[in-house]
Structure 1
Amino acid sequence: MIETASLAGFWAAHGIWSVSDGETLIPMLGYEQPDGERGMTRFVLDDLGDGARAAQEALEANADGAHRAVAVVDAYLHLEEGKTDALIIDAVRYGLTPGTIRLAVPYRPKTDSTEFAVLRPQIIEINGFDSQDFEAVADAFFSGVDSHEQAAAVWNAHLDPSA
């Protein structure tokens, strides 16, 4: 679970870095091979919804034979304050004991009148892991964020602790 959550943090940070300038994220699949080598595929399609579905299908199919993988898509999340932009992160550990983690990282997009901000990530669902320790998942997730040096700098510079 820890390694999967850490990989989710790494690719979530990459996604935040990608949207920090006001652009919409191109759906992506980041993966880690059994030997530890990492790779990424972006799903550039005419329709972002089709790209998001393609990323989800690739996550489910595991055609790269990865040990774990993460799909990151740009979407909306409904919070108490209303609808907000968010990255939805689906992380999977493959193998004999598969597991999944779904998280959301809400953000305020950069516009002419607002500054970009990263809001508090939310764990949506954890399945297939012996421990449902949300604190351990959160710690591993943020460790993964910090492991992406360029993206972590953007994340930390724009973190809104009040949200």
Structure 2
Amino acid sequence: MQETARLAGFFAAHGIWSVADGGTLTPLLGYERADGERGMVRFANEDVGAGAQIGRQALRDNRNGAVRAVLVVDAYLHLHAGKVDALVAEAVDYGPPSRTFTIGVPYRPQGSPGGFAVHRPKLLQDPGAEATALIEAFFAGVDAHEPAAQVWNASLDESI
């Protein structure tokens, strides 16, 4: 699962890089095949929610013959601070056995008071004993996307 968490971190960072200028993220599916080849597919649609649904179906169907994949969508999370913008990464290790986890990355959009900010990721499913290892691998994936990691680290606000 750690390789899947690294992949999720890499593509979540790519998503943060994409929304840092104030836009809405076009849902994206990042995947990795057994030979290590990576790819990405975007699901552009006038209705972002419909694009996310098409992406979820693609994630379930594993159309790219991947060993692991992650769908990253722009969404909202309901946290103690209230309703916040977030990128939600739904990650799958196709196994066998197939395993999943979901992580949310709250952010403050450009144009908001205080400007763009990235908050601490939140595991949205309890992975049990693997939680610490998954978060560490997720951040290794963030760091592997160098231009996005620069934006992430420069905009970090751990208040949420």
Unmatched tracts of structure 1, length 5 or more: none
Normalised to the residue count of structure 2, the TM-score between the two structures is 0.96
Secondary structure of the equivalent of 1:132? helix
Task: Give the gaps of 5 or more residues in structure 2.
Answer: none
CA drift at 1:95: 2.9
Pick from 131, 136, 140 the counterpart of residue 134 of structure 1. Answer: 131
What residue number does 1:17 align with? 17
Q: CA RMSD in A?
A: 1.3
1:8–1:65 distance in 2 versus 1, CA, 3 Å:
same
Alpha-carbon shift at residue 113 of structure 1 (Å): 4.1
Count matched residues.
160
**Corresponding residue number in structure 1 for 2:37:** 37
Question: Secondary structure in 2 aligned to 1:125?
Answer: coil
Instruction: Provide TM-score, normalisation by structure 1.
Output: 0.94
Query: Match of 2:31, SS?
Result: strand
The secondary structure found in structure 1 opposite 2:129 is: coil
1:44 and 1:92 mapped to 2: Cα distance?
21
Give 1:117's aligned residue.
117
Matched with 2:141 is 144
Match of 2:108 in 1: 108
Displacement over 2 Å in runs of 4+: none
* CA shift for structure 1 position 98: 1.1
Cα distance in 2 for partners of 1:138, 1:114 equals: 27
Query: In structure 2, do the counterparts of structure 1 residues 37 and 109 end up closer, same or farther at CA, with 3 Å as the change threshold?
Result: same
C-alpha separation in 1, matches of 2:39 and 2:126 = 24
Distance 2:129 2:141 in 1: 18
Tell whether 2:75 aligns with 1:75.
yes
> Is residue 154 of structure 2 the alignment partner of residue 157 of structure 1?
yes
CA distance in 2 between counterparts of 1:161 and 1:41 reads 30
The amino acid of 2:54's aligned partner reads A
Deviations 1:125-154 (CA, angstroms, capped at 9, x unpaired): 156xxx632111110000000000010000
Indicate if the aligned counterparts of 1:34 and 1:67 stay in contact, CA closer than 8 A: yes
